[in-house]
Homo-oligomer: A and B are copies of this chain.
């Protein structure tokens, strides 16, 4: 209806008070008579007026916005993590700006292309796997930073212990009696994430502890890679009886190869993933849950706490992982009766 959106001036006029009073009411500041407070509130409602964060931010120096930087938005993990962050920020009445940097990341100086300085109160990076230098460059924008899915010393981080998670998963397979336990990992030409590295290490450590030598195949991420890797494993002269995949997507690809090859799960091969992807439950895939929603929620709350001064900006928050036992793992053939 109104061609021009209402301003605080309009609310003030309608309520018959001054600008200052309107500002006080709308900010919930003290020192306003209840009667006036109601009158102003009503006037604002009638004009369906909301304050311009632009203008208020200009004077307070706070924007009321938090930037969340993710490499990609498509993979399941990020949507769930964002949901957690979003819920936490909403509690504190902060808006969420999302930047998908994707390929941009490779570009030198990508951090500068983000309009963060003076435009956000804080930055949350999710699975960005920042180098020390990138961290420093982000420091330069002068807003607090929270790292999700990555643990950097002396910097606010929320993460899981990938090493321990993978080691636990491996031990689960070993405990079932498997000795030929293979691992399918991922890496692309240009990127080998810290998380990938840690999971591989965790697997290796657990194998070493059991006196077994590790057996890992690394392919491109996603189900294609998983499928191919599984194919390679199956073509070995003495194939594994158990396979741990770096994450569920890979496990799903491996599962497809197994199904197509007529290899039964878990009868002939036990298969395990990592992440607890939605589809994992459908396929009854044993996996490691890392609760990305909780991680996001914790990261969001930590951000809020840092902004309010309640938390230090070097808090390290390790989120628990949990083994989710389903039907895709079992004792190897010969010993079946013993375990089940």
**Residue ranges of A at the interface with B (Cβ–Cβ < 8 Å):** 1-2, 5, 48-55, 57-58, 63-65, 72-76, 78-80, 82-83, 86-87, 90, 95-100, 112, 115-119, 140-142, 223, 249, 252-253, 255-256, 277-279, 281-284, 293
Apart from A50-B116, A75-B79, A279-B279, what 12 extra A-B contacts exist at CB < 8 Å? A50-B117, A73-B82, A74-B79, A74-B80, A74-B83, A74-B293, A76-B76, A79-B79, A97-B98, A98-B98, A223-B278, A223-B282
Most buried by B among A52, A63, A252, A256: A52
Partner of A58, one of B48, B55, B112, B279: B55
Q: Is the CB of B118 within 8 A of A54?
A: yes
Q: Is the CB of A281 within 8 A of B97?
A: no
Query: How many Å lie between the Cα of A75 and that of B79 in the bound state?
Result: 7
Residues from chain B with a CB closer than 8 A to the CB of A65 are: 97
Residues from chain B with a CB closer than 8 A to the CB of A58 are: 52, 54-55, 58
A278 and B76 in contact, given A1-B140, A5-B142 (Cβ under 8 angstroms): yes
A48 and B82 in contact, given A278-B76, A282-B255 (Cβ under 8 angstroms): no
Residues from chain B with a CB closer than 8 A to the CB of A249 are: 278
Task: Looking at the assembled complex, report how far the CB atom of A136 sits from the nearest CB atom of chain B, in whole angstroms.
Answer: 10
Residues from chain B with a CB closer than 8 A to the CB of A100 are: 82-83, 86-87, 90
Which are the 9 A-B pairs with shortest beta-carbon distances?
A79-B79, A279-B279, A73-B83, A52-B118, A252-B282, A86-B100, A54-B57, A54-B54, A73-B82
Most buried by B among A99, A116, A283, A293: A283
Task: Looking at the assembled complex, report how far the CB atom of A174 sits from the nearest CB atom of chain B, in whole angstroms.
Answer: 27
Partner of A50, one of B112, B277, B283: B112
Residues from chain B with a CB closer than 8 A to the CB of A73 are: 79-80, 82-83, 86
Residues from chain B with a CB closer than 8 A to the CB of A80 are: 73-74
Query: How many Å lie between the Cα of A140 and that of B49 in the bound state?
Result: 10
